[in-house]
Structure 1
Amino acid sequence: MPRPATYDLKGLNCPLPVLKARKRLAAMRPGSRLWLETTDPLAVIDIPAFCADAGHQLIETAAVAGGHRFLVERGVA
Protein backbone atom coordinates (compact mmCIF):
# COMPACT_ATOMS: atom_id res chain seq x y z
CA MET A 1 0.00 0.00 0.00
CA PRO A 2 1.43 3.43 -0.88
CA ARG A 3 2.37 5.78 1.90
CA PRO A 4 -0.56 8.04 2.85
CA ALA A 5 -0.39 11.67 1.73
CA THR A 6 -0.45 14.40 4.37
CA TYR A 7 -3.03 17.19 4.17
CA ASP A 8 -1.92 20.27 6.11
CA LEU A 9 -4.98 21.87 7.69
CA LYS A 10 -3.03 23.74 10.37
CA GLY A 11 -4.21 27.26 11.12
CA LEU A 12 -7.77 26.55 9.95
CA ASN A 13 -10.65 26.66 12.39
CA CYS A 14 -13.94 24.80 12.50
CA PRO A 15 -15.59 23.99 10.15
CA LEU A 16 -12.83 24.41 7.53
CA PRO A 17 -10.72 21.34 8.43
CA VAL A 18 -13.73 19.04 7.98
CA LEU A 19 -14.96 20.79 4.83
CA LYS A 20 -11.54 20.60 3.19
CA ALA A 21 -11.00 17.00 4.33
CA ARG A 22 -14.39 16.02 2.87
CA LYS A 23 -13.49 17.53 -0.51
CA ARG A 24 -10.02 15.96 -0.59
CA LEU A 25 -11.28 12.50 0.43
CA ALA A 26 -14.07 12.66 -2.17
CA ALA A 27 -11.42 12.89 -4.88
CA MET A 28 -9.58 9.80 -3.59
CA ARG A 29 -10.18 6.12 -4.28
CA PRO A 30 -12.00 4.03 -1.64
CA GLY A 31 -9.47 2.43 0.69
CA SER A 32 -6.95 5.25 0.20
CA ARG A 33 -5.50 6.76 3.35
CA LEU A 34 -4.81 10.39 4.19
CA TRP A 35 -3.12 12.03 7.16
CA LEU A 36 -4.93 15.18 8.33
CA GLU A 37 -2.83 17.62 10.37
CA THR A 38 -4.76 20.20 12.39
CA THR A 39 -4.27 22.85 15.03
CA ASP A 40 -7.99 23.42 15.68
CA PRO A 41 -8.77 22.12 19.20
CA LEU A 42 -12.27 21.12 18.07
CA ALA A 43 -10.82 18.78 15.44
CA VAL A 44 -10.55 16.00 18.05
CA ILE A 45 -14.36 16.03 18.12
CA ASP A 46 -15.10 17.10 14.54
CA ILE A 47 -12.84 14.72 12.57
CA PRO A 48 -14.04 11.50 14.30
CA ALA A 49 -17.67 12.64 13.95
CA PHE A 50 -17.13 13.47 10.27
CA CYS A 51 -15.57 10.04 9.64
CA ALA A 52 -18.47 8.27 11.34
CA ASP A 53 -21.07 10.30 9.43
CA ALA A 54 -19.34 9.98 6.03
CA GLY A 55 -18.46 6.27 6.29
CA HIS A 56 -14.70 6.79 6.50
CA GLN A 57 -12.53 4.87 8.96
CA LEU A 58 -10.43 6.73 11.50
CA ILE A 59 -7.32 4.54 11.70
CA GLU A 60 -5.15 6.54 14.08
CA THR A 61 -5.24 9.73 16.12
CA ALA A 62 -2.10 11.30 17.55
CA ALA A 63 -1.44 14.44 19.54
CA VAL A 64 1.53 16.33 18.10
CA ALA A 65 3.19 19.61 18.99
CA GLY A 66 0.58 22.33 18.46
CA GLY A 67 -2.21 20.06 17.27
CA HIS A 68 -3.31 16.61 16.15
CA ARG A 69 -2.83 14.14 13.32
CA PHE A 70 -5.57 11.84 12.07
CA LEU A 71 -5.09 8.93 9.69
CA VAL A 72 -8.31 8.49 7.72
CA GLU A 73 -9.15 5.68 5.31
CA ARG A 74 -11.65 6.68 2.66
CA GLY A 75 -14.84 4.68 2.79
CA VAL A 76 -16.76 3.32 -0.20
CA ALA A 77 -19.66 5.76 0.06
Structure 2
Amino acid sequence: MAYKKKPAPLPVMAAGPIPRLLTPEEAGQLMGVAPQTLAHWRARGSGPAYVLLSARCVRYDEAVLRTWLESRVQASTAENVR
Protein backbone atom coordinates (compact mmCIF):
# COMPACT_ATOMS: atom_id res chain seq x y z
CA MET A 1 0.00 0.00 0.00
CA ALA A 2 1.43 3.39 -1.01
CA TYR A 3 1.50 6.14 1.55
CA LYS A 4 0.75 9.72 0.62
CA LYS A 5 2.96 12.52 1.84
CA LYS A 6 1.32 14.83 4.32
CA PRO A 7 1.00 18.45 3.19
CA ALA A 8 3.43 20.96 4.63
CA PRO A 9 1.89 22.53 7.73
CA LEU A 10 0.84 26.14 7.59
CA PRO A 11 2.30 28.53 10.12
CA VAL A 12 0.37 28.76 13.38
CA MET A 13 -2.08 31.60 13.04
CA ALA A 14 -2.67 34.09 15.82
CA ALA A 15 -6.19 35.05 16.76
CA GLY A 16 -7.47 37.59 14.30
CA PRO A 17 -9.10 37.81 10.92
CA ILE A 18 -9.44 34.62 8.91
CA PRO A 19 -6.89 34.55 6.05
CA ARG A 20 -8.07 34.88 2.48
CA LEU A 21 -8.11 31.40 0.97
CA LEU A 22 -7.71 31.01 -2.78
CA THR A 23 -8.80 28.16 -5.02
CA PRO A 24 -6.07 26.47 -7.08
CA GLU A 25 -7.33 28.44 -10.09
CA GLU A 26 -7.05 31.77 -8.25
CA ALA A 27 -3.66 30.82 -6.78
CA GLY A 28 -2.38 29.79 -10.20
CA GLN A 29 -3.53 33.07 -11.70
CA LEU A 30 -1.78 35.02 -8.93
CA MET A 31 1.44 33.04 -9.45
CA GLY A 32 1.30 32.80 -13.24
CA VAL A 33 1.12 28.99 -13.35
CA ALA A 34 -1.59 26.52 -14.33
CA PRO A 35 -3.69 24.87 -11.60
CA GLN A 36 -2.28 21.55 -12.86
CA THR A 37 1.22 22.78 -11.97
CA LEU A 38 0.07 23.38 -8.40
CA ALA A 39 -1.41 19.86 -8.35
CA HIS A 40 1.95 18.41 -9.52
CA TRP A 41 3.79 20.38 -6.84
CA ARG A 42 1.38 19.09 -4.17
CA ALA A 43 1.89 15.51 -5.36
CA ARG A 44 5.69 15.92 -5.22
CA GLY A 45 5.61 17.68 -1.86
CA SER A 46 7.12 20.85 -3.27
CA GLY A 47 5.65 24.26 -3.91
CA PRO A 48 3.80 26.49 -1.47
CA ALA A 49 1.97 25.19 1.60
CA TYR A 50 -1.75 24.63 1.13
CA VAL A 51 -4.88 24.05 3.17
CA LEU A 52 -6.66 20.73 2.70
CA LEU A 53 -10.28 21.36 3.74
CA SER A 54 -11.37 17.89 2.62
CA ALA A 55 -10.03 15.12 0.40
CA ARG A 56 -10.86 17.11 -2.74
CA CYS A 57 -11.01 20.71 -1.51
CA VAL A 58 -7.61 22.45 -1.66
CA ARG A 59 -7.08 26.11 -0.83
CA TYR A 60 -4.07 28.40 -0.60
CA ASP A 61 -3.57 31.15 1.99
CA GLU A 62 -2.87 34.30 -0.04
CA ALA A 63 -0.33 35.62 2.49
CA VAL A 64 1.55 32.30 2.50
CA LEU A 65 1.64 32.31 -1.32
CA ARG A 66 3.08 35.82 -1.41
CA THR A 67 5.72 34.91 1.18
CA TRP A 68 6.62 31.76 -0.78
CA LEU A 69 6.93 33.76 -4.00
CA GLU A 70 9.18 36.32 -2.29
CA SER A 71 11.41 33.49 -1.05
CA ARG A 72 11.89 32.33 -4.67
CA VAL A 73 13.28 35.67 -5.94
CA GLN A 74 16.87 35.39 -7.17
CA ALA A 75 19.24 38.10 -8.32
CA SER A 76 21.31 35.87 -10.63
CA THR A 77 21.65 32.31 -11.89
CA ALA A 78 24.77 31.95 -9.71
CA GLU A 79 22.46 31.68 -6.68
CA ASN A 80 21.43 28.21 -7.90
CA VAL A 81 25.00 26.85 -7.73
CA ARG A 82 25.37 24.19 -5.01
TM-score higher than 0.5 here?
no
- Give the strand-richer structure, 1 or 2: 1
Using structure 2 for the length normalisation, give the TM-score: 0.28
- Give the helix-richer structure, 1 or 2: 2
Using structure 1 for the length normalisation, give the TM-score: 0.29
